Amino acid sequence: MIQIYNSLTQKKEVFVPLEEGKVKMYVCGMTVYDYCHLGHARVLVAFDVITRHLRHRGYDVNYIRNITDVDDKIFNRAAERGIPFDALTEQFINAMHEDERALGVLAPNAEPRATQHIAEIIAMIARLIQNGYAYAAENGDVYYEIAKYAPYGQLSKKKVEDLIAGARVEIGESKRSPVDFTLWKAAKEGEACWDSPWGKGRPGWHIECSAMSTCCLGNTFDIHGGGPDLKFPHHENEIAQSEGATGQKYVNTWMHAGAIRVNKEKMSKSLGNFFTIREILEKYPAEVVRFFLISSQYRSQVDYSEDALQEAKASLDRFYNAMLGVEVMSGEVEGDYRERFLAAMDDDFNTPEAIAVLFELAREINRCKASDKVVAGALVAELRALGDMLGVLQQDPTTYIQAGSGKGEGLQAEEIEALIVQRKDARANKNFAESDRIRDYLKQEGIELDDRKEGTTWRRV
RNA sequence: GGCGCGAUAGCAAAGCGGUUAUGCUCCGGAUUGCAAAUCCGUUCAGCCCGGUUCGACUCCGGGUCGCGCCUCCA
> A42-56, A167-181, A446-460: lowest mean pLDDT where?
A167-181
DSSP letters for A265-296 = EE--TTTT---BHHHHHTTS-HHHHHHHHHTS
The percent of residues in chain A predicted with pLDDT above 70, rounded, is: 98
Per-residue model confidence as pLDDT tens digits over A62-71: 999 999 999 9
The nucleotide whose C1' lies nearest the CA of A319 is B23
Decide: CB of A359 under 7 A of nucleic strand B.
Answer: yes
Q: How far apart are CA A305 and CA A201, in angstroms?
A: 43
**Chain B positions with a protein C-beta closer than 7 Å:** 1-5, 11-15, 21-25, 32-40, 66-74
pTM of this structure: 0.96
A189-209: average pLDDT: 94
Please tell me the predicted confidence (pLDDT) of residue A200. 95
- How far in angstroms lies nucleotide B56's C1' from the CA of residue A361? 32
Cβ atoms of A403 and A460 closer than 8 Å: yes
**What is the pLDDT confidence band of residue A412, given thresholds at 50, 70 and 90?**
confident
Map residue A194 onto helix, strand or coil.
strand
Using the CA of A301, give the nucleotide whose C1' is nearest. Answer: B67
pLDDT in tens, A84-96: 999 999 999 999 9
Residues 282-301/A with CB < 7 A to strand B:
295-297, 300-301
Q: Which of A190, A183, A171 is nearest to A238 (CA)?
A: A183
Q: Write the pLDDT tens digit of every residue in A286-345.
A: 999 999 999 999 999 999 999 999 999 999 999 999 999 999 999 889 899 999 999 999
Whether A96 CB is under 7 Å from strand B: no
Q: Which of residues 179-208 of A touch strand B (CB under 7 A)?
A: 205
3-state secondary structure of A60: strand
Cβ of A460 < 7 Å from strand B? Answer: no
| DSSP summary character for residue A23 | E
Q: Which helix (H) or strand (E) holds A186?
A: strand A181-186
Would the Cβ of A267 be found within 7 angstroms of any atom in strand B? yes
Share of chain A above pLDDT 90, in %: 87
Task: Indicate if the pLDDT at residue A113 is higher than 80.
Answer: yes
Query: Once rounded to an integer, what is the mean pLDDT over residues A239-243?
Result: 97
Cβ-in-10-Å burial (0-12, 13-18, 19+) of A330 comes to exposed
d(C-alpha A61, C-alpha A23), whole Å? 5
Does residue A237 contact residue A230 with C-beta atoms inside 8 Å? no
Radius of gyration of chain A (CA): 27
